[in-house]
Amino acid sequence: MEVFVNKQALVFGSSSDIGRCISTELVRAGYIVTGTYFNTRGFGHKLVHCDIRDLTQVDRVFDYFSVNTLDVVVLSAFPFLENDPFDWSAFMEAQRFHAGHMRAMVNSFHALKRGGRIVNILGQCVRNGLPAAPHYSAFFAQMHNFAKSVNGNPRYGKSDQINMLDVLLAAVDTREWNGVSQSVKAAYEQKMGKFIQPEEVARRVLFELSCQTMATELVIDGSVLV
């Protein structure tokens, strides 16, 4: 596999299980990694505190980078939000995470080199929704359609100005399950052959980054039909 010596990567949510594993793989491959964290210290050569829900803090992260300096930006800071579909406060909370991710994508465009890549960690709920987490899945679907639109745009994706990869995951074995109801977790356990490990997600992301032509989506299903 290609070694990405001295390439620059920014990982939002490097303190999450998936974000930490991706940051670790990027460092091993030779990237210089800046990681953001919120409650728990993240992983990377440089760590920056950032609450993704605060647009001012998202903007400040990019103050560390000049125009056209980054090679990769990874977004892994959207937590699983289980809620009622008609709970307005839950919608607004999910919207804050969504706005932060979109702000990071817009800022990434200016910080990335030509041909730079944005990797967005999403879920397979972009296709079918998720009864236990309706707002979470709805915003994921919006971001996935955004990526497809960017990659198909003659000015951006088709001209190789910027490329976006959405990683569509089934259930991953992370700390996120600590805050999920037992009934929802049991439903996933019945559907899946096995839970996906965060380290496997990280290895698959690194492999995609080694390819000259990158797909718009990477589906990792753990034996779930999608």
Q: Give the model confidence (pLDDT) of 13-28 as tens digits.
A: 999 999 999 999 999 9
Task: Kindly state the DSSP code that residue 194 receives in the 8-state scheme.
Answer: S
Q: Give the model confidence (pLDDT) of 63-75 as tens digits.
A: 999 999 999 999 9
Rounded Cα distance between 191 and 181, Å, is: 16
Contacts of 84 (CB under 8 A, 6+ apart): 90
pLDDT higher than 60, residue 2: no
**pLDDT for res 193:** 66
Residue 33: strand, helix, or coil: strand
The string of DSSP letters for 45-107 reads: SEEEE--TT-HHHHHHHGGGS-TT-EEEEEE---------TT-HHHHHHHHHHHHHHHHHHHH
pLDDT higher than 60, residue 200: yes
The alpha helices in 163-221, defined as continuous H runs, are 182-191, 198-209
Confidence of residue 196 (pLDDT cuts 50, 70, 90): confident
Domains and CATH numbers, the chain: 8-220 (3.40.50.720)
**pLDDT for res 179:** 63
pLDDT higher than 90, residue 29: yes
pTM: 0.91
Among positive and negative, which fits the CA dihedral 52, 100, 11, 67? negative
pLDDT higher than 90, residue 174: no
Q: Which residue has the higher pLDDT, 23 or 1?
A: 23
To which H or E segment does residue 186 belong?
A: helix 182-191
Lowest mean pLDDT, pick from 52-56, 59-63, 130-134: 130-134
pLDDT higher than 70, residue 3: no
Q: Give the model confidence (pLDDT) of 117-173 as tens digits.
A: 999 999 999 998 989 899 999 999 999 999 999 999 999 999 999 999 999 998 887
Among positive and negative, which fits the CA dihedral 3, 6, 9, 14? positive
Distances (CA, A) of 27 to 9, 22, 116, 211: 9, 9, 17, 18
Residue 215: strand, helix, or coil: coil
Token match 């465009």: residue? Answer: 109
% of the chain surpassing 70 pLDDT: 90
Q: Give the model confidence (pLDDT) of 77-97 as tens digits.
A: 999 998 999 999 999 999 999
Q: What is the mean pLDDT of the chain?
A: 91
